[in-house]
Amino acid sequence: MTGPPIVKGTAAWRYFGDFRAGLLAGQVLVLQVAHPVVAAGVRDHSDYVEDPWTRLMRTAASLSIYIYGGPEGARYEADRLRALHRSFTGVDDGHRYSALNPRAYAWVHATLVMVPVDTQRFYGTPMNPSELDEYYAQMCDVGRLLGLREQDMPPTWPEFERYYAEMIDGFGPNETISTLFETIRTVKKPWRWLPDERWTRLQRWQYRGQMFVIRATLPPALRDRLGLQWTVRDQRRFDRFRTVVRLVGGLVPMPLRSSLVRRIGRLNVWFRAHPRAYRFLGGI
C-alpha cells in the first residue's frame, strides 16, 4: 500500500505531531521494550536511565524529520538511524541479537504508527476509516524509508490492528520494563537550576502521573500481565482527565496542534544541511 505524499492536509500531517501525543510517551516506551529483542538492545545500549530527558528529545526530533522534514530529510534520517543501529548487537539468554532484527525493528515502527491513533482515541476525535487508511498508507511509506521489509508491514489497517493485538498477546514482564518503571520513579531533574527540594516534590507527582497514564492507556491484557492494578475508580478519574484534555485540545485549531513538532522537523533538516552550526550548539 502506497500513500499520498505527507503534505499539508493529509492524515499523517494533521495527526502525527498533535501535542497531546506527549501524554503517551511512557506507554509507547513500555510497549517497545516489551519486545524481548528491543528490551535487550535498550538494556545494553541505551542511555535512557542516565539521561531520559535527552533521550526523549532526540527521539522526538528524529520522528519529526520523517513526517515534517520532507523526502530528503526523511531519507537522511533513515540512513543515519540504520547506520547507528548496526552496532547495537549483543547476547541475550545465550542468543545473539541485533537492533536491526527485522521483526523487532518493525515492532518499534508499529508502536509509533499507533501513537497518533491512540492519541485521538483517548484525547481527541477518533480517526474515521478513510483517514485511518490514508494515514496507515503514509506510515508504510515511512517504514519503507526506514528499511522495513514488505512482509513485516501488514498491507491494510485492519490487518495491522490484528498484527498489533497478536504481538501484544505474546508480551509479558521483563527486566527492562522493571528498569523503566524505576527510572520513571527516580528520574533526575531535567534542569540543573531547579532546586533539589522542589524537584523532590515534583518527582513524586510526575511519577504518580506518569504511571497513572501508563496504566490507563496500556492494553488491558498487557497491563494485567505486568501486575499493574486498575480499578473502576481509576477509570472514572481517567475519564475525567481525558475529557479535560479533549476540551482543551479542541480549543486549539488543528494546524496549531502539530506546529511545534513541524518546526522541530524543519529545524533538524536545516541542522543537517549546516553541520557546523549543529556542532557549534553542542549537537543538541
Distances (CA, A) of 254 to 14, 15, 18, 138, 281: 7, 9, 8, 19, 32
Q: Which amino acid would we find at residue 284?
A: I
> Residue 169: which of 34, 26, 28, 29 has the closest Cα?
34
Question: What string of pLDDT tens digits covers the 284 residues of the chain?
Answer: 688 888 889 999 999 989 999 899 899 999 999 999 888 877 776 665 566 556 656 666 677 777 887 777 777 777 777 676 666 666 656 666 565 688 888 998 899 999 999 999 999 999 999 999 999 999 999 888 888 889 999 999 999 999 999 999 999 999 999 999 998 898 877 778 888 888 888 888 989 999 999 999 999 999 999 999 999 999 999 999 999 999 999 999 988 888 888 887 777 767 666 667 556 655 54
Helix boundaries (H) for the chain: 11-15, 25-33, 36-45, 52-68, 70-85, 102-123, 129-145, 157-169, 175-186, 196-217, 220-225, 232-250, 254-257, 259-273, 275-280
pTM of the model as a whole = 0.85
